[in-house]
Amino acid sequence: MTFTGAGGFGGRGETAGSDSRILYTGEGTSSVTTVVGDREYTTQDGRTTWKKLSDTERLAPFARSAADVVRAASKDPQVQSIGQEKVRGVKATHYRVTLPADGDSQSESDLTKLPESELAWFDLDNVEGYSDPVNIDIWVADNLVRRIATTVKDQPESSSEFYDFNTPITITAPEQATPAPKDAAPQVHVHQDSPTSVTAKLGYSTNE
C-alpha cells in the first residue's frame, strides 16, 4: 500500500502473512520498519535495531481487519453511499461515515468498537477521541478496503490505498541488527496532523 499524511509524511509497504516491511518518508528523512515473526526491526541512518513484539503489539490479519471495517462502516447509522468510483482501475463503492465529536451522545459507532489491532491498519485507532467530527471515506471492492481517507475540521486529509492483493511477497529480516536500548523512547512514524498518531506498531501498510 501507499499512504500520505500532513507535512509531507508518507510511505509505502507490503506484507506476507503477518510479516511486513514499510518505508516511511518525511521531512527529508526515511526509515524502514520490518516485522518478521515476533521481532520488529527499525533501519534508519544506516543502523538497524530490533525489539521483540508482544502478542498485543501485533496487528490482526489484514483480510479479517478489512472485512470487519467494511461490515461496521456499511451498517453505521451515519453512513452515506456516495456511489461507484474506480481505485487503481478497480470499480469500488464509496462510503462516507461521519463520527461525531468525542462526548457527543451519538458518538457510539460499530466502527470505533473494533479492536485497535484491526483499526490501526487504516489509521483509525483512537479516532473517536477527537473534539471535532471526523469524516471517514472508504472505497470497497470485493469486501476489501481499497482506499480510506480521514478528515477533521481544519486539518489536512490523511489517506491510504491498498492494492496488489495476493501478490507473492517474501519478507526477510535485515542483517547485522542490534537489540534496541530498553529505555529508548518508542519510535513514532506520524501523519502528524492527521486524526491519529501512527506508531511503528500501528503504521503498517500492505500489499497482501
93 in a structural domain: yes
Mean pLDDT in the chain? Answer: 79
Instruction: State the pLDDT at residue 200.
Output: 32
Q: What value does the mean pLDDT take over residues 164-187? A: 81
Q: What is the pLDDT of residue 185?
A: 45
Tell me which DSSP letter residue 59 carries.
Answer: P
User: How big is the CA angle at 149 (ends 146 and 150), to the nearest 5 degrees?
Assistant: 150
- Distances in whole angstroms, Cα of residue 85 to Cα of each of 78, 93, 125, 140: 20, 6, 26, 10
Residue 188 banded pLDDT, cuts 50, 70, 90? very low
| Number of domain units in the chain | 1
Residue 198 lies in a domain: no
The predicted pLDDT at position 157 comes to 74
Look at 18 and 97; give whichever has higher pLDDT: 97
Going by pLDDT thresholds of 50, 70 and 90, the confidence category of residue 205 is very low
197 assigned to some structural domain: no
Kindly compute the dihedral angle of the four CA atoms of residues 7, 69, 54, 202, in this order, to the nearest 10 degrees. 0
Q: Give the model's confidence band at 201: pLDDT under 50 very low, under 70 low, under 90 confident, else very high.
A: very low
* pTM score, whole prediction: 0.75
pLDDT exceeds 50 at position 194: no
Nearest-CA neighbor of 191 among 125, 111, 107?
125
Q: Which residues form the domain of 24?
A: 2-179
- 204: pLDDT confidence band, cut at 50, 70 and 90? very low
User: C-alpha 2: how far from its chain's center?
Assistant: 10
Asked if the structure places residue 106 within a domain, the reply is yes
Does some domain include residue 8?
A: yes
| Lowest mean pLDDT, pick from 81-95, 153-167, 178-192 | 178-192
Kindly tell me if the per-residue pLDDT of 192 is higher than 70: no
Q: HSE of 152 in the Cβ direction (CA atoms, 13 Å)?
A: 22
Residue 94 pLDDT more than 90? yes
Query: What are 105's three cell numbers?
Result: 451522545
- Residue 207 domain-assigned (yes or no): no
40 pLDDT tier (thresholds 50, 70, 90): very high
- Please state whether beta strands 47-52 and 178-179 pair in parallel, antiparallel, or not at all (unpaired): parallel
For residue 51, give the CATH number of its domain. Answer: 2.50.20
Higher pLDDT, 6 or 115: 115
**Residues 100-155: pLDDT tens digits?**
776 554 556 778 788 888 888 777 776 666 667 788 899 999 888 899 998 887 67
- In a domain? residue 190: no
Task: Decide if 191 is inside a domain.
Answer: no
Check residue 2 and give its pLDDT: 92
